[in-house]
Amino acid sequence: MIKIANVSKHYGDFKVLTDCSTSVSKGEVIVVCGPSGSGKSTLIKCVNGLEPFQSGEITVNGISVGDPKTNLSKLRAQVGMVFQNFELFPHMSITQNLAIAQVKVLGRKQDEAMDKGLKLLDRVGLKAQADKFPGQLSGGQQQRVAIARALAMDPICMLFDEPTSALDPEMVNEVLDVMTELAQEGMTMMCVTHEMGFARRVANRVIFMDHGRIVEDDAKEAFFANPRSERAQQFLAKIL
Ligand code: ADP
Ligand code: MG
């Protein structure tokens, strides 16, 4: 579903990604972790074309992200992305937030988009909040809306960038529960997160990044039992 081959990216002399390669099969859940500044956000943003890269190749479902002929807005419509800070439209109601891209990007009718949005809102346990505005919801609720909004586009895979990092601790699980359900339903997911409990329960593989490189890419059992690099061992020792 996602293939990342020898991707490198630099800002001037600064190498933010160096020769990164991995792939994610259909239905697989990959957790990406590593220290702050190691390139995790940059890597997943490259996957849906939010960040350009200078060398290597990324394909999503066979479509080359770096190819100038690729229609990036069409690709992004198929790749759901959830950010740390929710990124909901503050001046729109929850239902409007859920409907807008369905109408503008996919050309769905307003009614159909509203219907689909409400169904997904129900699925994340927030049907009662439909007419509220983002600012009236808790962080955990806003993040669940953001996930529902991404799902409304019928994505072929989902990218998460530290979806629980901005949340108060008591709200983390309500978001992880939604992500766990999604994974169990077979969604292909690439999740940047430091929630190692989630990684242990849900991930198939864990990628560890350091200084722009993928230093470990292992089955989760192997990663947790015996990380190969010293850097990953130190990292795990600190956060577990
Ligand atoms: P992570 O998500 O692992 O914390 P990022 O992918 O956000 O890391 O960033 C990786 C590195 O790239 C960081 O050192 C960051 O400062 C640098 N970086 C990110 N965006 C830019 C930019 N636009 N210009 C220069 N450096 C950047
Ligand atoms: Mg980041």
How far, in Å, from the CA of 164 to the mean position of ligand 2? 12
In percent, how much of the chain has pLDDT > 70? 100
Query: HEC profile for 175-230?
Result: HHHHHHHHHHCCCCEEEECCCHHHHHHHCCEEEEEECCEEEEEEEHHHHHHCCCCH
How far, in Å, from the CA of 62 to the mean position of ligand 1? 27
pLDDT band at 228 (very low <50, low <70, confident <90, very high): confident
Which protein residue has the closest C-alpha to ligand 1 atom 22? 11
DSSP classification of residue 30: E
Contact 31, 199 (CB under 8 A): yes
Residue 238 has pLDDT above 90, yes or no: no
Q: Using a 6 Å cutoff on CB, does residue 36 contact ligand 1?
A: yes
Q: Could you give the CA distance from residue 104 to residue 37 in angstroms, rounded to a whole number?
A: 34
Which atom of ligand 1 has the smallest separation from the CA of 34?
A: 3
ipTM of the complex: 0.96
Angle at 32 between CA 227 and CA 179, to 5 degrees: 120
**Strand, helix or coil for residue 54:** coil
Q: Using a 6 Å cutoff on CB, does residue 38 contact ligand 1?
A: yes
- pTM for this predicted structure: 0.96
Summary mean pLDDT of the chain:
95
Which atom of ligand 1 has the smallest separation from the CA of 36?
A: 4
The 10s digit of each residue's pLDDT in 52-111 is 999 999 999 999 999 999 999 889 999 999 999 999 999 999 999 999 999 999 999 999
**Strand, helix or coil for residue 65:** coil
Residue 29 has pLDDT above 80, yes or no: yes
Facing residues of 219 across strands? 205
What is the mean pLDDT of the segment spanning 140-152?
Answer: 97
